[in-house]
Amino acid sequence: MKALILVGGFGTRLRPLTLSFPKPLVDFANKPMILHQIEALEAIGVSEVVLAINYQPEVMLNFLKDLEAKLGIKITCSQETEPLGTAGPLALARDKLIDDSGEPFFVLNSDVISEYPLKEMIAFHKHHGREASIMVTKVDEPSKYGVVVMEESTGEVEKFVEKPKLFVGNKINAGIYLLNPSVLDRIELRPTSIEKEVFPKIAAEKRLYAMVLPGFWMDVGQPRDYITGLRLYLDSLKKKSPSKLAAGSHIVGNVIVDETVKIGEGCLIGPDVAIGSGCVVESGVRLSRYTVMRGVRIKKHACISSSIIGWHSTVGQWARLENMTILGEDVHVCDEIYSNGGVVLPHKEIKSNIWKPEIVM
């Protein structure tokens, strides 16, 4: 089987982290976002993954060369010269996706983190025998999304309603699809939307079915959702592989810590924390709802919550960072500094307090 991952554009919603790396290579729970998806695809026997990309392809390809050898899966890029939306990239990669087997192929949005029940999706697709399957997930506020209206017992999709004012259902597109090769005949090579242009036509012909996603789901393409996604991911990890979580008197709730991390005495870490490789956490530090990328140093008695710290940054002694403070790569926060929602671009030194949410250039 083959799969296409829609990597897309510039990752503007996740800046300043995406100023250093393309979004799929930004760490999530201590490994690049896209690796979660590629590993899930490899685990169910997908032999080739095509990345649809239009930004920093060289960086992606260098990273993926190492990955190919490690996972034993073929990874290629399909590069757009102009943004083609969510359907155009399928037309562009047509020759890479179609072979003599006639097998369906997966399409995934690169922002999506879930338990990836791909094996179950293959069984669902074979069972209904139609042209396309999409994964849907239940949400509390369907009015913020495009809602998928479906026949509950069979999964047959009736229609799509964009940001409904009145309640029509609580299931939204989860950004994971399994498509027969014939779907590619419906897509022109131009900027076009699979959700708004392609799927409604297939649904009108009663050839589109939706499977309700078991377990958690999150689009982690922006910081607040990234932190929520980390909590859901760690909850899931606790149920499925609790041995991967950190343990000890200094750990509260679900925490994931790379084996190379050094942690000092008297720290309190958690809940919902991920600490990447090569980090140093000095004594008396308090961390909660927080991600720290590779090579970061947190100095004594710093207190950090609801924040993301980029690669090779430093947080000074007694500093306090909170309320979605985001530090880009190589940012150095001086001792005793307070940040309330500061978003700091890479390669900066912060010498004065950030009293209210703002971008620091």
Per-residue pLDDT tens digits of the chain, which is 361 residues long: 899 998 876 667 778 887 787 778 888 999 888 889 999 999 998 988 988 887 667 777 777 777 887 888 888 888 777 788 888 888 888 888 887 788 899 999 888 889 899 999 999 999 888 999 999 998 888 777 778 888 888 888 888 887 777 778 888 888 899 999 989 889 888 888 888 888 889 988 999 999 998 888 888 878 888 899 999 999 999 998 999 999 999 999 999 999 999 999 999 998 999 999 999 999 999 999 989 999 999 999 999 999 999 999 999 999 999 999 999 999 999 999 999 999 999 999 999 999 999 988 8
Residue 74 CA: distances (Å) to CA of 46, 49, 246, 332:
9, 6, 33, 39
One-letter amino acid of 107: V
347: left (phi over 0), alpha (psi -120 to 50) or beta: left
Q: For residues 163 and 165, what is the distance between their CA atoms, to the nearest angstrom? A: 7
Nearest CA to 209 out of 169, 122, 150 is that of 150
pLDDT at 307: 94
With residue 147 as reference, give the H or E element that holds it.
strand 146-150
Q: List C-alpha distances in Å: 130 to 3, 46, 127.
A: 19, 21, 9
Q: Peptide bond before 271: cis, by omega within 30 degrees of 0? A: yes
Q: Are strands 48-53 and 74-79 parallel, antiparallel or unpaired?
A: parallel
Residue 98 · residue 78 · CB < 8 Å: no
